[in-house]
Amino acid sequence: MSERTIPDATSFWELVERRAALSPDQRFVFDDKGRSLTFQEFRDTAERVAAGLYAMGISENTPVSWQLPTQMNTVLLSVALSRLGAVQNPIIHLYRGRELSFAIRQTGARFLAIPGELRGFDFVQLAKDACEGLPEPPELLITADGLPEGDPATLPAPPSYEPGAAPVRWIYYTSGSTADPKGVQHTDQTLLAGGWGLAVALDPAPDDVGSIAFPYAHIGGPDYLVMTLTYGFAVALIEQFVPAETIPFLASVGCTISGGGAAFYTMLLAEQRKQPGRPILPKLRMLSGGGGPKPPELHYDVQREMGGRGCVHGYGMTEVPMITQGSPHDTDEQLANTDGKPIVGIQLRLVDGEVRLKGPMVFKGYTDPDLDKDAFDEDGWFRTGDLGVLREDGHLSLTGRLKDIIIRKGENISAKEIEDLLYTHPKVAEVAVIGLPDRERGERVCAVVQLAGDDELTLPEVVEFAKGKGLMMQKIPEQLELVAEFPRGGTGKINKRALQDDLKSKPWP
């Protein structure tokens, strides 16, 4: 059994080297294309890639953007950039010209890594369009052609950082449909602190087999990598989650930890329901993820129908990779109704119900410092914009967002409360509750539903169901919209703003 690494590593590269020394011959990352690397092989390959990048002109502080899917080369490139101390800007490969152009311009990227053509989409043309008009466009590195490699003997020593004093080396962008994206600045150490908190909470074993089926360019990518390096277990890289292909692959490799968020839980559960009584992932211990709210009933559905501990859910955001995290050692009630306990090292307090944070995993401010004024309070606590209740058992239950409150006739209504209730309706596979402008009410409550089967669902049915569950009249939906699928962001989270924009103009009695 491999040892757990010491949590005082000050850089990603230091963590990679520690794990390679502890578990050199143990499998680390692998994919469904047959490629597999042990911890030692990964360390050596990443250093050769770092040497190749160094020969191209990438060194400490060089700004490098990369827009890549979850692939072996993506993880190798990212760790190689950390070895050099470059400033990397991961961009989810599902984003398009607006986000890419903004990030390249604001970071001053000198290099841009892209996959070339991927599933019929031309990333080279996207990059050219995004860089149009730049006096010095970044040099393109097309990973489909392979990563550059060189002699590690040509490399300078790895950058070393004092504890708590690492410089900004990661810039992530949050994406909105109207405002400009916000550049979120992280150090190796803020990301290490978040990943360490995830690892301690989930308490994996060296013989676990995890999976990264979400975009590795998401803030959850390094979170998960830190956990695997800390506890020394293997992880499958999934470029695209296609149930008919992905699930048999995960089953064949003995996947024990899967998920990524509520959208993944729902998709996996839908596949399991096609073959009740025969587990699609026979060795599954838990589904784990974050990135958005989880209906309480979903935990019990997954546990009953898929097995294992059910949904071991967490709470984080681009600015703070991990905030709270459930544990397989929690009770079912805690797993169903909370988002876990605050992770190791974080300070959490509620101010008028809003979650505010301090700790080594909190980001180092936005690339636009003017945005920091509203992001932090006068005492330096980060304002999440999320509303929650801290229970006596130390677990946090999120109740909604300051901006996800529907104000109907002057009364604040939590969208999440209604969503959690409607999810328990047998005809509902997934639901989003939004507020729509209304001349009489200010806002009216609209439930947007994806059906679980072929049976229709009507608004009177929803109203009667909500009444039967004891929901107060002011909160009962006045509009029902059925969708074949939800608009989603790059991590699978439902894009409520897109729903609102689409439905605002729709005639309503």
Alpha helices in 4-96 (DSSP H): 12-22, 39-56, 72-84
Q: What local confidence, expressed as pLDDT, does residue 2 receive?
A: 52
The burial class, CB within 10 Å (0-12 / 13-18 / 19+), for 70 is buried
d(CA 435, CA 451): 20
Q: Are 49 and 149 in contact (CB under 8 A)?
A: yes
CATH numbers and ranges of domains, the chain = 12-23+37-187 (3.40.50.980), 241-401 (3.40.50.12780), 405-504 (3.30.300.30)
Give pLDDT tens digits along the chain (509 positions). Answer: 357 776 689 999 999 999 999 999 999 999 999 999 999 999 999 999 999 999 999 999 999 999 999 999 999 999 999 999 999 999 999 888 888 999 999 999 999 999 999 999 999 999 999 999 999 999 999 999 999 999 999 999 999 999 999 999 999 998 644 467 899 999 999 999 999 999 999 999 999 999 999 999 999 999 999 999 999 999 999 999 999 999 999 999 999 999 988 889 999 999 999 999 999 999 999 999 998 788 999 999 999 999 999 999 999 999 999 999 999 999 999 999 999 999 999 999 999 999 999 999 999 999 999 999 999 999 999 999 999 999 999 999 998 888 788 988 877 888 989 999 999 999 999 999 999 998 888 899 999 999 999 999 999 999 999 999 988 888 999 999 999 999 987 667 899 989 999 998 888 87
Q: Are 315 and 341 in contact (CB under 8 A)?
A: no
Tokens 């689409």, residue? 502
pTM for the whole structure: 0.89
- According to DSSP, the residues that pair with 390 across neighbouring strands are 396
d(CA 509, CA 501): 18
Q: What's the DSSP call for residue 409?
A: T
Q: What local confidence, expressed as pLDDT, does residue 177 receive?
A: 42
Q: Are 400 and 315 in contact (CB under 8 A)?
A: no
DSSP 209-232: EEEE-S-TTSTHHHHHHHHHHHHT
Q: CA distances (Å), 236 to each of 101, 209, 258, in order?
A: 31, 7, 10
